[in-house]
Structure 1
Amino acid sequence: MMRALLLLLLSLVALPLRAEEVVMGLSKDSVNITADFDGSEILIFGAVKREAPIRSDPPLQVIVTVAGPVTPATVWRKERRLGIWVNTDAVEIDAAPSFYAVATSAAWGDVISDVEDLRHRVSVARAIRSVGAPMSIEDSQSFTDALIRLRESKGLYQQRPNTVELRDSTLFDTAISMPANIVEGEYTTRVYLTRGGRVVSQHASVIQVGKVGLERWLYNLSRNQPPLYGLLSLVIAIAAGWGASAAFRALKSG
């Protein structure tokens, strides 16, 4: 009995004490894509639970990430041949989030170390996995960089330093804008607490993004009954063309 009690006490001592733990909330846990959808903004907020007094050195920092569904991607390099731009080399990227935003409470170098970034895959570059890039292409990293630039230009990849407001090392909040061209699926939201560049706590939640109403009906029709969807599209195009022609004739005769 004494031996079992001793082993229990030793196991409790061996357990790490979490002095700080993050809790978070979302202004909405779902985003509906409708016919007039022009984007959405998610407010992410939370607090830090403590079992000890607030430490000031090193200071507490907060990182917030929102990642969309992960899919493979092919990135092509274009070169000018005989006056024509053509695709030449290509790199298959194993997994890239369709949307990725990362917001921090300070400059990037002050919130997380390279080792912790590699471990938790927090930055945009680390969130993209390209382990299958061919060795024959010496600068395969440039293809990943090109994908990041392309999606940044479309608002799908966002790097937002100094945009998480942290009050008294306890309360925090930030807003993430999701553009109109996001895809359906689960968007994982994570909050990391760091000190001295090291992650001390993290919490994750999920935002559901999906089409509703007419958009959902048309999407399901295109997937489940492609011939009927194609016929409907043709009828709508003919009706729109006839209506525009009729309106033009009416204006001309008037």
Structure 2
Amino acid sequence: MMRGLLSALLCTLFAATALSAAEAREEVVLGLSQNRVAITADFDGSEILIFGAVKRETPIPDTDPLEVIVTVAGPASPVTVRRKEKKLGIWVNADSVLVDSAPSFYAVATSGPFEDVLSDTEDLRHRVSVERAIRSVGAAMNIRGAQDFADAVVRIRQDEGLYSLRPSTVAVDQQTLFRTAIDMPANLTEGAYTTRVLLTRGGQVVSAYETVIDVRKVGLERFLYALSREQPFIYGIMSLVIAVLAGWGASAAFQLLRDR
């Protein structure tokens, strides 16, 4: 009995070691054209070049071809979505749902058609697709079409250029080198943008890597943003003074032109 137990333990240990070796067979070595984005007065967007290589300790597997998925996600926060209905000829807010967490920006780039690169099960597990990057805990039982509220968040932010799915935009060379570019619009939210690279074969994730791109306001924009959050009263007074001075200046200039 003792011998059988020892044999089973050794088999389990061997299987775990073999599985670990298989999982570590391919790893991501990543590079970014920049890991910090500065939002200034003339900021009109940015393009992040993401490139890297696959590190292997064994030959390239002679099975399914290697596919690459790159995701960039901005800071997430809850979002309240309201549905409008027409009552007595007037559009009014009706039902509302709190979407538990929605990234302020989300882009997915893949090396092939999304459904070929990642299985539905793996998508559910890793939350890769735009729809699954949004977490909605649930809605009241009396609200019909609760999923429509999360879909509305996706639709609105896609129209604003904040959410995007970019199939077949990751170039993969000889199953070893990969590269892609992610366009980031001007209306970015400050914070840490999580960047993930997933390697897949046959729709299954075989390796993952994660890093962060820091997006911050700088210069005068940073000062005004911090002042509005930390000293709202002073910010309000300053805004009022600037508005009065601007109005007086415009009036004086108009008066001067009229006198001529």
Measured against the shorter chain, the TM-score band is: over 0.9
Gaps of 5+ in 2: 1-8
| Counterpart-to-counterpart distance in 1, 2:203 and 2:11 | 32
How far is 1:213 from its partner? 1.0
Which residue, 122, 125, 150 being the options, matches 1:144? 150
| Counterpart-to-counterpart distance in 1, 2:140 and 2:12 | 50
| Counterpart-to-counterpart distance in 1, 2:160 and 2:12 | 54
Report sequence identity in percent: 65
> Using a 3 Å threshold, how does the CA distance of structure 1 residues 148 and 10 change in structure 2: closer, same or farther?
closer
Which residue, 197, 218, 221 being the options, matches 1:215? 221
How far is 1:133 from its partner? 2.3
**Any idea what the Cα deviations from partners look like across 1:11-63, whole Å, max 9, x if unmatched?**
46622212211111111111111122211111111111112222353111100
TM-score of the superposed pair, with normalisation by structure 2: 0.90
Aligned to 1:59: 65
How far is 1:136 from its partner? 2.2
| Counterpart-to-counterpart distance in 2, 1:25 and 1:44 | 6
- 1:40-189 matches, cutoff 5 A: 40-55=46-61, 57-189=63-195
| Counterpart-to-counterpart distance in 2, 1:35 and 1:69 | 21
Q: Give the RMSD, CA atoms, in angstroms.
A: 2.0
TM-score of the superposed pair, with normalisation by structure 1: 0.92
> Using a 3 Å threshold, how does the CA distance of structure 1 residues 33 and 138 change in structure 2: closer, same or farther?
same
**Any idea what the Cα deviations from partners look like across 1:175-208, whole Å, max 9, x if unmatched?**
1111111111110000000000000001000011
How far is 1:10 from its partner? 7.2
Which residue, 219, 233, 238 being the options, matches 2:244? 238
Contact 2:106/2:164 (8 A) holds in 1: yes
**Any idea what the Cα deviations from partners look like across 1:144-199, whole Å, max 9, x if unmatched?**
11110001111111111111111111111111111111111110000000000000
How far is 1:118 from its partner? 0.4
Contact 2:79/2:101 (8 A) holds in 1: yes
| Counterpart-to-counterpart distance in 2, 1:213 and 1:43 | 25
Gaps of 5+ in 1: 1-6
Q: Number of paired residues? A: 250
Aligned to 1:4: none
| Counterpart-to-counterpart distance in 2, 1:252 and 1:165 | 63
State which drifts further: 11-20 or 39-48.
11-20
- 1:8-27 matches, cutoff 5 A: 11=13, 14-15=16-17, 16-17=20-21, 18-27=24-33
